[in-house]
Amino acid sequence: MSEVKISIRNLHKTFGTKQVLKGVDLDVFKGQSLVVIGGSGTGKSVLIKCIQGLLEPDFGTIEIDGVDVLSEKTKSHISEKMGMLFQGGALFDSLSVWENVAFSLIENKGYDRQVAKREAVRVLRQVGLAPDVADLSPSELSGGMQKRVGLARAIITKPDIIFFDEPTTGLDPIMADVINDLIVESAKGLGATTLTITHDMSSVRKIADRVAMLYQGKIIWQGTVKEMDKTENPYVVQFINGCAQGPIKVEV
Amino acid sequence: MMKKQIENFLRTLGHPLVSFIISLGNLVLFVASAVYHALTPKYYVKNFLRQVLEMGFYSLPVVGLTTIFAGMVIALQTYSGFARYGAESAVASVVLISVTRELAPVLSALMVAGRIGAAMAAEIGTMKVTEQIDALVTLSTNPFKYLFAPRLWAGLTVLPVLVLFGDVIGIFGGYVVGVYKLGFNPANYINSTIEEIEAIGIISGLTKAAVFGFIIALMGCYNGYHSKGGAQGVGQATTNAVVSASILILIFNYILTEVFFSK
């Protein structure tokens, strides 16, 4: 068995009276691509934000390389190991494309701006964007290009762990496939561990080494993509086939 | 029946009270955190300079227009009021005292609150709802240091400079009306103004300006950071930033006046 990179135990998170995570237990192995699937509002984003320290869980533990990430002392050290591609890109609109990509290099690693720009242009090329995009503003880019810039920003520091939050949402199927390919290439190239949350099944089949399903605040099933296709778990079967009928009731 | 009514009454009273206490607690925590991060490294000097430009340089026309007309109006009103008692000669000193102690700091701060406080809340609110602030955290950057500390420092340092500029322009406004409209001798008017200049008047005005600048930046950052939802949430944050900053400016104006001038 591979080494555990991220270990989550008994994770709980409540907002007001709504209990979103009700005891999540999950392991992500080193170098593995884990995709968490689940319907809208099941707590996928909350889970990923808890791991990154953007939300504080009510209780439970999260360890990365055996280190407790919820401790204040280790938070900043741990965050340097991570990269994140946000659902909407979350590019800083006050900065140009290359400044977005090179943000960590300039602000945290003290790179000279010219050197940082050269590195940003190199990574932009890696994700399929021409150098002349570098000086544009994020608002001048299409949705697909913004995702690529977000991906470039996530991988420029060569993180150990990369998180992808609904990476293909809002993209046409062809662009979604291009982004999926880029995610796989980038992660394999860096040897990074990745955790993706999505409900796009074509994305799951392309990206995942393992799949976990989150339902009603708990991981109810996990396995490989092949196992997912053969499983008789009624929740997974309903979800991957996109059926309205089944044990998962959609609140209308 | 009576018990139910009392229960309903207490619930109606209690809900807003609890919400208010929670908001107050959040604000205190935010202020403490913002001040701590503003005083400790790392400092983002470039962001600070950008805010100085935005808050200071681009506010000069607004502050200039506000204070020149305030000075002109005060000269006219003082003359028409004081003429009844034959005290027209006090116009220059009244203009000086009114402008430096009250009009320039308070009116400039209210104008800057409308211009900058709203823009700050809208910018930070938009960053919040589009996950740009989360993105900052994932890039190992503390939003309190990167976004809020430069704005708080800019508010604290820029507004006194703006008010000093406003003092000069406001007094000049009074001079223009006094000399060209009311027929005062220019040399006498200038002499009366210079004779009446007091350090306490200028210092109190500049201290007020620093406090008001801090309040404007704080309310802009706080309301922007706590905005929720989409465009509506950001709009609400913008309104809250301007209204809360304006009210706090008026409250602190009284408190500081009491501190400086009560005997």
CB of A107 less than 8 A from some CB of B: yes
The string of DSSP codes covering B143-196 is HIIIIIHHHHHHHHHHHHHHHHHHHHHHHHHHHHIIIIIS---HHHHHHHHHHH
The yes-or-no verdict on residue A1 having pLDDT over 60 is: no
Report how far residue A134's alpha carbon sits from residue A156's, in angstroms, rounded to the nearest whole number.
Answer: 14
Provide the domain count of chain B.
1
- Tell me whether residue B158 is in a domain: yes
| Among B123, B134, B140, beta carbon nearest to A90 | B134
Per-residue pLDDT, B3: 83
Angle made by CA atoms B209, B215, B217, in degrees to the nearest 5: 105
Per-residue pLDDT, B9: 85
Give chain B positions within 8 Å (CB) of A49. Answer: 134
| Among A52, A92, A93, beta carbon nearest to B138 | A52
Residue B71: helix, strand or coil by DSSP? helix
CB of A171 less than 8 A from some CB of B: no
- Tell me whether residue B191 is in a domain: yes
Nearest CA in chain A to B50: A94
Half-sphere exposure of B229 (CA within 13 A, CB side): 7
Residue A104 C-alpha, separation from nearest chain B C-alpha, in angstroms: 6
Per-residue pLDDT, B184: 94
| Among A49, A93, A103, beta carbon nearest to B139 | A103
Residue B108, classified by CB atoms within 10 Å of its CB into exposed (0-12), middle (13-18) or buried (19+), is buried
Q: In this structure, are residues A21 and A181 in contact, taking their beta carbons and an 8 Å threshold?
A: no
The yes-or-no verdict on residue A75 having pLDDT over 70 is: no
Report how far residue B241's alpha carbon sits from residue B222's, in angstroms, rounded to the nearest whole number.
Answer: 8
| Closest residue by Cα to residue A165 from A191, A183, A141, A178 | A183
The yes-or-no verdict on residue A154 having pLDDT over 90 is: yes
- Tell me whether residue B24 is in a domain: no
Q: Do A82 and B131 touch (CB under 8 A)?
A: no
Q: How far is CA B158 from CA B30, B105, B216, B246, in A?
A: 22, 12, 11, 18
- Tell me whether residue B95 is in a domain: yes
> Percent of chain A at pLDDT above 70?
96
Report how far residue A54's alpha carbon sits from residue A43's, in angstroms, rounded to the nearest whole number.
Answer: 14
Q: Do B134 and A91 touch (CB under 8 A)?
A: no
Residue A92: helix, strand or coil by DSSP? coil
Q: What is the mean pLDDT of chain A?
A: 91
| Among A54, A103, A107, beta carbon nearest to B134 | A54
- Tell me whether residue B235 is in a domain: yes
Taking one residue from A and the other from B, the number of pairs with CB-CB distance under 8 angstroms is 48
Give chain B positions within 8 Å (CB) of A92. Answer: 127, 132, 135-136
Per-residue pLDDT, A252: 60
- Tell me whether residue B11 is in a domain: no
Task: Write out pLDDT tens, residues B167-199.
Answer: 999 999 999 999 999 999 999 999 999 999 999
- Tell me whether residue B40 is in a domain: no
Quote the domain boundaries for residue B210.
Answer: 45-261
Contacts for A138-143 with beta carbons within 8 Å, 24 or more apart? A138/A89, A138/A91, A138/A92, A138/A93, A138/A95, A138/A97, A138/A100, A139/A93, A141/A97, A143/A89, A143/A170, A143/A171, A143/A175
| Among A49, A79, A91, beta carbon nearest to B140 | A79
Residue A87 C-alpha, separation from nearest chain B C-alpha, in angstroms: 9
Nearest CA in chain A to B134: A54
The yes-or-no verdict on residue A40 having pLDDT over 90 is: no
- What is the full per-residue pLDDT of chain B (263 aa) written as tens digits? 678 888 888 888 888 888 889 989 999 999 999 999 999 999 999 999 999 999 999 999 999 999 999 999 999 999 999 988 888 889 999 999 999 999 999 999 999 999 999 999 999 999 999 999 999 999 999 999 999 999 999 999 999 999 999 999 999 999 999 999 999 999 999 999 999 999 999 999 999 999 999 999 999 999 999 998 888 999 999 999 999 999 999 999 999 999 999 87
Instruction: Please report the sign of the dihedral spanned by the C-alpha atoms of residue A92, residue A94, residue A100, residue A106.
Output: negative
Per-residue pLDDT, B259: 95
Q: Do A84 and B138 touch (CB under 8 A)?
A: yes
| Both structure tokens of B132 | 């740009």
Nearest CA in chain B to A155: B139
Q: Can you name the residues that pair with A64 across neighbouring β-strands? A: A6, A67
Rounded to two decimals, the ipTM of the complex is 0.91
Which amino acid does the sequence have at B94?
A: V
Q: How confident is the model at residue A151 (pLDDT cuts 50, 70, 90)?
A: very high
Task: Write out pLDDT tens, residues A17-35.
Answer: 899 999 999 999 999 999 9
Contact map slice: B 93-152 vs A, CB within 8 A: 123, 126-127, 130-132, 134-141, 146
Task: Write out pLDDT tens, residues A98-139.
Answer: 999 999 999 999 999 999 999 999 999 999 999 999 999 999
Q: What is the mean pLDDT of residues A247-251?
A: 78
Backbone angles phi, psi at A67, to 5 degrees: -105, 135
| Closest residue by Cα to residue B219 from B254, B249, B244, B239 | B244
| Closest residue by Cα to residue A206 from A231, A190, A188, A232 | A188
